[in-house]
Structure 1
Amino acid sequence: MNTAAVPPTLGPNAPSTPSPGWHALPHEEVAGRLGVSPAGLSVEEAQARLAEHGPNALPEPPGRHPLLRFIAQFNSALIYFLLAGALAALLLGHHVDAGVIVAVVLINAIVGFVQEGKAEQALRAIGGMIAPHANVLRGSQRVSVHARDLVPGDIVLLEPGDRVPADTRLMRARGMLVDEAILTGESVASAKREEPAPAEAPLGDRHSMAFSGTTIATGQGAGIVVSTGARTEIGRIGKLIAEVEPLATPLLRQVDAFAQRFTWLAIGGAVALFLFAVTLRGYSWTDALIAVVALAVGVVPEGLPAVITITLAIGVRRMARRNAVIRRLPAVETLGATSVICSDKTGTLTRNEMTARRLFIPEGAAPAEIAVSGTGYVPEGELSWPEPGDPALAAGKLLHCALLCNDAHLNVDGGHWRVEGDPMEGALVALAVKAGLSPVIERGDFTRQDEIPFDAAYRFMASLHRHPQGGAVIFVKGAPEAVLAMCDTPGEGWDPALARTAAEGERVLGFAMKRLEDMPERLRLDDVRDGFAFLGLVGFIDPPRPEALAAIAECRTAGIGVKMITGDHGATAQAIARQLGLAEDPQVITGADVDAVSDEDLVAIARDTAVFARTSPENKLRIVRALQSTGQVVAMTGDGVNDAPSLKQADVGIAMGRKGTEAAKQAAEVVLLDDNFASIVAAVKEGRTVYDNIRKMIAWTLPTNGGEVLSVIAAIAFGSIMPMSPAHILWINLATSVTLGLALAFEPTEPGVMDRPPRPAKAGLLSRFMVWRIVVVSVLFMLATFAMFELSIARGQGVEMARTIVVNTLVVLEIFYLFNVRFMHMTSITWRGVLGTPAVLMALAGVTLGQFAFTYLPVMQAIFDTRPVALLDGLMIVGVGVLLMVVLEVEKALLRHLGVFTSEEM
């Protein structure tokens, strides 16, 4: 039991021993323990308690100073090395290039700073859930006070539409239904009554309590404030959020690990090359330093952070078209790494629209079952049964009762049907219309004279109507046990029908009627105690989304586990899980079961269980952490304040955009505009595409840089002339990274992307295949560089012409290698591969124009000391690129055929 539920020792008669939670105590005893009379607290006592307990407000979340948060964005090995590369470019006199690198670093820092600031708004959003004012009794006077001034012991008066200002033990509840979705996830409002609830009751079953932040849907009542501020349920959730440490995304972890290794390798290589050039090759200090700077410029992937950021941003735009709004850029890639999706049930896996699924009516020796087609509130469908005759006619009295003992209305807005009123009553109206009844006509013929609203104390609603043929009729609907108890001859065989509907997770209502000769003056409870004729049962269910069924099947193909974590009842959750194909035989674990096991034992339970029902915020948090402890990348969906801690804990939190609270949205990285599980799976697919494109970009960038570095090293090792100057290396990197490298960010999804299992969370950024490819391509680039350089020198074309040919050769090699790397898991020699995409064609045009300017424009010749290349030399350069493409395609096919690398590594 949580500490918020343990009563403090207030008042003169407070006990010295621990007591059960407030919900389990009679309200008279609660009043005694809190030292409050029916007249409420006096003004003086309220002020004294306010000084003792503090205001009824949630504490402000702690935050770092903005300057410290901004400085922390630079704490990365890759950033340090990029700044070193900027310094190297500056030493070479390339101020523009140095400025570009510094600008990239600053932009990344600003983006991270802004996004981190948004995450801190989650706690502030929860603070806004507390009601601003409350009506209380103080000194026998009804007064309105600011919610901050409420204290334990205050008597609060609650009416429809009020937001409950503090955790309250109800002492009076009349027809009270409370919307507790923000805390429990229940789609149906919770009925409240005064008598104590069982001490072990989970939050959603504490019918004697009204919790801070929830809303009174119908009815009215009064209660005693038992917890305020941080001691309320909503305050406890805020504390859970504050305790959750944000996790680095798989991509950021991989980039950081790669950057650290890369940095030390580059520093070590630069020092070794410098010493080698000076001591063994006789280079002067100045020449050796220039060579090392050229190496640094060649090896630093200065465009890497910018292209990764742009790739993620493109993924954000694509996901927005799939109804997934990304609040933090790295979440795009994290979705692609997701191995487990923990999903809420109501509205995500289901339609969040109650549907009358079947009817049971008295017919012969046993109840007859009538099936109802159609889903949601759309009044389209039909009634069917195996018996002869019209089922709508046979169930006519039940259907009339369902429509008339009903306060809901259906409206259509732009083709979308919505209910005004209780969801189950809305489903009954849709059922009546499917059977051919008109709500307007029937309600006009059977005019209502009086009613007894639903109350949790007696669990039914009754309505009195004038009968068109004279006299009156009373219709009743409610809990089947309560309705059956008021019927004279309900008949036999109803227990099996009730058991069957319960086993399939349906909510059930019973219906009855009684004819009266004369119209009574008003409807009293004594009028509905007996003498009724039982009309039958209606079973309801919130139907699964059809697209969710296909999406879950796709998840199973992609190796992604799906777990349902809901505040709903176990039988309902299990029935929906079975319909969705969540598992072969979905087992249900309740929140109480989770509470009863240790964190170590929960790991195996979380791994093997598909459905968690009646869960608390702590349960959800522990389940997510248990899955993460096994290396799983967890995506968590939610909409209520109770979901915010687990949304923040998950690798990627996904909030519902339609029904989600602001607290859930602020704690999440992704917001779904349509609250649809299928949109999550579509976002996962886009996330895998984004990661594929990032890998393609890395697989293209590092070998091309590697070829330049190997060329510099080989030139020093063999004591030959440098085939390129540092300025030439900078030109190649900058000219191609903003064109060819960026084009890879726009690559469409490769076929079969959802047929691959999720990549391991601890996998490195570079797979074995990528390391192999970097080495092979770097060596091929180096060989092509020296072959073209030496051939040009041998033909007497001079060093300047040879270097011009080398630069153009490297750019052409990068172009052809781009076409090869666009398809990592299949051959690139297809019509789709040859034709490219608009982004590839634009990049190709841009880099071609750039190279023509580099080679033939007098200004560029003056800057880079280049020479015009003859047509035959140009054709030879293109031929080298074609040869590279053929070699790499043969290599890719051979490796795939021999099974040297797995499909996940390629």
Structure 2
Amino acid sequence: MSYNLAENLTGLTENEVEASRQRYGYNRLEAIRKNTWFDLLIGILKEPMLILLIIISVIYVIVGDYGEAAFMFVAIVAVTAISFYQDNRSKKALEELEKLNEPLSTVIRNSKAVEIPTHEIVVGDLCITEEGRIINADGVIVHSNDFSVNESSLTGESFSVFKDNKSEDNLVYSGTVTVSGLAVFKVQKIGKETRVGKIGESILNIKEEISPLQIQIRKFVKWMAVVGILIFLMVCIFSYIKTGDMVTSLLSGLTLAMSVLPEEIPVAFTTFMALGAWKLMRQGIIIKRSSIVETLGSTTVICTDKTGTITENSMKLQHLYNYLSDKIYEEKEFKNDDLSELINYAMWSSEPVPFDPMEITLHKTYEETQKKDVRKEYKMFHEYPLEGKPPMMTHLFENTNTDRIIAAKGAPEAILNVSRLSETEKEKIRDVIKTFGQQGYRVLGVAKSHFEGNNFPKNQQDFDFEFLGLTVFYDPPKKGIKEVFQSIYDAGIKVKVITGDNADTTNAIALQAGIKNDAPATNGSDIIGRSEEELMQISEDTVLFTRMFPDAKLEVVNALKKKGEVVAMLGDGVNDGPALKAAHIGVAMGNKGTEIAKSAAALVITNDDLEKLIIGIAAGRRIYTNIKKAIQYIISIHIPIILTVSLPLFLGWVFPHIFTPVHVIFLELVMGPTCSIVYENEPMEKNTMQQPPRAMGDTFLSLNELGISVIQGLMITFGVLFVYQFSVQNGGDEEKTRAMVFSTLIFANILLSFVNRSFFYSVLESFRNRNPLLIGISALVLMMLLVILYVKPISLFFKVTALNINELGMAVFIAAVSVLWFEVYKYVKRIGKVKG
């Protein structure tokens, strides 16, 4: 927005800004210490898997197995590199989001108004604040225009306070909100020195709330870790009793501990959430906390505004109704002399520097129709901001000859209520309003008043108004909005429209936009004072909420939440703040949204396009589904590793130590990237947005899903152990048996990663969802297996021998049988779905 700056408001020069920053620092509550690559590295080296690897390496060095020790060192480097790559990607993604989430502040520098990141404000800066913006530093007012501020964050008092440079209290404070008007203030304190900084440093210690999914995953990992410790002790003791060899027993226990520890799961969760938020950011959806991605996929109700979200927010002035002539005029007739007064007062009742689309249109119409433009001759000296139920606003202007203009506009009912009209005349105008409303038009009433002296009434409604007429705007539904709502309904999500407009207009636009509704609209005034049960019933049954004000919006959102709905609330104004904060997902509009709305919201849509929210919900569902796929894959593939390491030992088979730490760590290196890199990149399945939303309280794995993963793991175990016995029965030595078992497990792992891309569609159908990373990593693993089997020094190191074509074919066949049986299960599931 452009500002007409007073000549004396020049602000700081670049040199003065730099000098101030050197002396007072940045406008932050804390000296933010960014995690360096060294911090990331230290964090990775604390991981249990790395600690186990280091312990095993030390044991190998002590017993003189330097080859194994060297391999373990390489493994440590590889695991660290993979973890570092993932952590660094997540860190960069979150830093990008942080930059976008930081509010901008408007300051005057070198006589120009410029927008800068809030942390760059310095002591001495001239900051501009206006309606809906949060004040980001402490300072003294040097210039203002009808400025009022809400200081409840500091004082606890909810009413707003009017201030100017002549007030006894002419100070503004960081963290407070501009309610009306505009002010320029000179910054006196920043960061920790501000009032909010001194009393609010404890806020910095409040940790972000952990999401339900995170809690469930942490519990699962802890439970698996406990199991790992118990099995480690059992194997160590059992092996020592049988062999009396402490080193071998310890290595056997550590091998098993590595195979049980599901360290990939928390890595996968962090990666999925951070990268999911980053990918959405690139599509114009800014997410404040990455855990919101998980909640997005659970959305059951979208509460949306009408103007600018469902409609184009173009606000074309379509008709004017003049009360004196009792006639409706079309656009081509706007230059008619009968309309001069109505157009004049409609413009004067708007902001002098308009930013609302309707007010911009009224200013433009004034320019095009009036013989003389007198806007520069008059100055606004008093203002009543938009308020009331329904709302209206009044502006008072005066020129140098003290000629006054008192102009009001607002909801037609509000203007009719304060105008000198008989009930019969009001009823006649209501019929006109209803006719326009039923056609989807947005209608405003316009009135004028006369008042001598400066003892203005406290409330604008106390002026004696003369009704002038109606301005009739048309704001058509956005192109393609019907398809957007259809996709919302297909996803099993309900839609509620919450708007300040009247019922007739909202009904007409909802019909044109394809919103499903068979219930009467509910007005905001009908919401307040209802019991909790009544509110829950109204919120469930009603689709169109009209003439809504902040308290009513908040009541509806809270009632829907009590009903068990997961609510996404779209808003853009100061008045939407409470409802945005209360909703599970507050969604602010990036273009027309006020700073207070963006601050209260968890998600910002940069171009005000409702379709972006659908993209966000789809991403939430995709990420949640992929996390589950990754975790189910991890469980399924860990079971055969655990049992192949332990059962030959416990059952007293001929080769009790078929896998050493070398083999397990190789398998871990294969599994890590598969679950956290490959599955994160997995596209959305085609039926994802045709499913009803999942209940947010659902466990991330149901007993049925966990059961399927366990069965998959056991089937692979049977296959691997069958190969073990087959090799032994056919005279295979330990190296041959190990090669057969190891190869079967690798082939099964690759096939499982393909099969588990979908738990509904066939593996061939899943190939249509391109995921080059899966193909690439699978090919790399196959190449590495062939190197291990057929390159002599490597095969000696892994203690395996080369397999002939029949043996290799046998390993592939058994792996295929032990994994691909699941395709039959999926086929039966699809047939059942079709019949159902």
Which whole-Å CA distance do the structure 2 matches of 1:95 and 1:351 have between them? 61
Distance 1:639 1:761 in 2: 26
1:254 aligns with 2:212: no
Match of 1:815 in 2: 750
Q: Structure 2 vs 1, CA of residues 673 and 394 (structure 1 numbering), >3 Å: closer, same or farther?
A: closer
- Report the counterpart of residue 776 of structure 1 in structure 2: 711
**Residue 698 (structure 2) pairs with residue 712 (structure 1):** no
Report whether the alignment pairs 1:354 with 2:340: no
Code of the aligned partner of 1:680 = L
Aligned partners of 2:744 and 2:274: how far apart in 1? 32
Question: What is the match of residue 249 of structure 2?
Answer: 288
1:788, distance to aligned residue in structure 2 (A): 1.7
- Of 329-338 and 834-843, deviating more is 834-843
User: Retained in 1: the 8 A contact 2:259–2:638?
Assistant: yes
1:267 to 229, 243, 258: 229
Deviation at residue 753 of structure 1 after TM alignment:
0.8
Change (3 A) 1:669 1:276: farther
Contact 1:361 1:395 in 2 (8 A): no
- C-alpha distance 167-541 of structure 1, shift in aligned 2 (>3 A): farther
Cα drift, residue 716 of structure 1: 2.1
Q: Which runs of 5+ in 1 are unaligned?
A: 1-59, 136-145, 169-182, 184-201, 213-220, 371-382, 384-390, 409-418, 433-438, 465-473, 513-532
Structure 1-normalised TM-score? 0.63
Q: Which amino acid aligns with 2:213?
A: L
Partner SS for 1:263: helix
**CA RMSD after TM alignment:** 5.8
Counterparts of 1:539-688 in structure 2 under 5 Å?
539-540=472-473, 542-563=475-496, 568=500, 575=507, 578-579=510-511, 581=515, 583-585=517-519, 587-588=521-522, 590=524, 611=545, 614-616=548-550, 632-639=565-572, 651-661=584-594, 665=598, 668-688=601-621
Q: CA deviation at 1:868?
A: 2.2
Give the equivalent residue in structure 2 for 1:866.
800
Q: Output the amino acid matched with 1:303.
A: E
Q: Say if 1:121 and 1:666, in contact at 8 Å, map to a contact too.
A: no
How far the C-alpha of 1:664 sits from its partner, in A, is 5.3
Distance 1:859 1:313 in 2: 41
Which amino acid in 1 is paired with 2:361? A
**Counterpart-to-counterpart distance in 1, 2:196 and 2:530:** 21
Question: What is the identity, as a one-letter code, of the residue corresponding to 1:889?
Answer: E
Structure 2 partner of 1:338: 299
Structure 1 residues 682 and 287, CA, compared in 2 at 3 Å: closer, same or farther? same
Q: Is the 8 A contact 1:653 1:670 kept in 2?
A: yes
Question: Is the Cα–Cα contact under 8 Å of residues 492 and 693 in structure 2 kept in the other structure?
Answer: yes
Among 850, 855, 858, which residue is 2:784 paired with? 850
In structure 2, the residue matched to 1:311 is 272
Question: 2:590, 2:442 → 1: CA distance?
Answer: 27
SS of 1:678's partner is helix
Q: Deviations over 1:276-320 (max 9, x none)?
A: 5556x5665443332221111112233334444443455345424
Q: Displacement, 1:844?
A: 2.5
Aligned to 1:322: 283
In structure 1, what is the Cα distance between the partners aligned to 2:196 and 2:472?
Answer: 35
Per-residue deviation, residues 462-494 of structure 1 (Å, max 9, x unmatched): 999xxxxxxxxx9x996776899699x999933
Give yes or no for the alignment of 1:424 onto 2:385. no
1:267 & 1:821 partners in 2: Cα distance? 29
CA contact (8 A) 2:640 2:713 kept: yes
- In 2, the alpha carbon distance for the partners of 1:129 and 1:656 equals 29
Tell me, what secondary structure is at the counterpart of 2:444?
strand
**Distance change >3 Å, CA 227–CA 725, structure 1 → 2:** same
Q: Please say which of residues 656-665 and 223-232 is displaced more in the overlay.
A: 223-232
User: Secondary structure in 1 aligned to 2:297?
Assistant: helix
2:659 partner letter: M
Label 1:392 to 1:624 Cα distance change in 2 as closer, same or farther (>3 A).
closer
Cα distance, 1:683 vs structure 2? 1.0
> How many residue pairs get matched?
710
| Aligned equivalent of 2:261 | 300
User: Which of the numbers 659, 667, 692 marks the counterpart of 1:724?
Assistant: 659
Q: Is contact 1:104-1:306 (8 Å) kept?
A: no
Letter in 2 for 1:294: T
Query: CA contact under 8 A between 2:240 and 2:249: conserved in structure 1?
Result: yes
**Letter of the aligned partner of 1:585 in structure 2?**
A
Report SS of the residue matched to 1:506: strand
Separation of aligned partners in 2, 1:738 and 1:97: 14
Provide Cα deviations, 1:225-274, integer angstroms capped at 9, x if missing partner.
Answer: 69964896569999999699843224323322322332233333433444
Alignment of 1:173-322 (within 5 A): 229=173, 246-277=208-239, 284-316=245-277, 318-322=279-283
CA contact (8 A) 2:138 2:174 kept: no
Q: Work out whether residues 683 and 770 of structure 2, in 8 Å CA contact, stay in contact via their aligned partners in 1.
A: no
Measured at CA, do residues 664 and 727 of structure 1 come closer, stay the same or move farther in structure 2, by a change above 3 Å? farther
**Cα shift readout 1:777-835 (whole Å, capped 9, x = no counterpart):** 111111111222222233334211221222221111122222211122222233x5378
Over 3 Å counting, the alpha-carbon distance change for 1:630 and 1:256 in structure 2 is: farther
Q: What is the rounded CA distance, in whole Å, between the counterparts of 2:827 and 2:291 in structure 1?
A: 33
**In the TM superposition, what is the alpha-carbon distance from 1:431 to its structure 2 partner?**
8.3
Which residue type is aligned with residue 158 of structure 1? S
1:734, CA displacement in angstroms?
0.5
Give the whole-Å Cα distance in 2 for the aligned partners of 1:431 and 1:328: 44
The alpha carbon displacement at 1:700 in A equals: 1.6
Q: Residues 350 and 824 (structure 1 numbering): CA distance in 2 closer, same or farther, change over 3 Å? A: same
Is the contact between residue 49 and residue 261 of structure 2 (CA under 8 Å) also seen in structure 1? Answer: yes
**How far apart in 2 are the matches of 1:599 and 1:298?**
53
The 1:574–1:771 alpha-carbon spacing in structure 2 relative to 1, beyond 3 Å, is same
**Alpha carbons of 1:268 and 1:601: their partners in 2 closer, same or farther (altered >3 Å)?**
farther
1:322–1:115: structure 2 CA closer, same or farther, 3 Å change rule?
A: closer
Residues 698 and 499 of structure 1, relative CA distance in 2, 3 Å threshold: same
Say if 1:656 and 1:673, in contact at 8 Å, map to a contact too: yes
CA contact (8 A) 1:245 1:649 kept: no
1:752 Cα deviation (Å)? Answer: 1.7
Residues 209-240 of structure 1: CA distance to partner in whole angstroms, max 9, x if unpaired? 7589xxxxxxxx99886996489656999999
1:54 is matched with none
- Cα distance in 1 for partners of 2:73, 2:713 equals 28
Whole-angstrom distance in 2 between the partners of 1:502 and 1:682: 32
8 Å CA contact 2:419, 2:467 repeated in 1 = yes
Which of 801, 820, 823 is the equivalent residue of 1:889? Answer: 823
Shift of 1:710: 1.6
The CA distance in 2 between the partners of 1:657 and 1:536, in whole Å, is 34
Deviations 1:678-730 (A, max 9, x none): 20111110121112122112222221111111222321221112332221121
CA shift for structure 1 position 578: 4.4
- The separation in 2 between residues aligned to 1:105 and 1:563, in whole angstroms, is 44
Q: Secondary structure at the match of 1:325?
A: strand
For 1:97, the equivalent position in structure 2 comes to: 75
Question: 1:759: which partner in 2?
Answer: 694
State the partner residue of 1:523.
Answer: none
3-state secondary structure, aligned to 1:851: helix
Do 2:292 and 2:585's aligned partners in 1 also have CA atoms closer than 8 Å? yes
Report the counterpart of residue 833 of structure 1 in structure 2: 767
Residues 286, 743 of structure 1: alpha-carbon distance in 2 compared, 3 angstrom cutoff: same
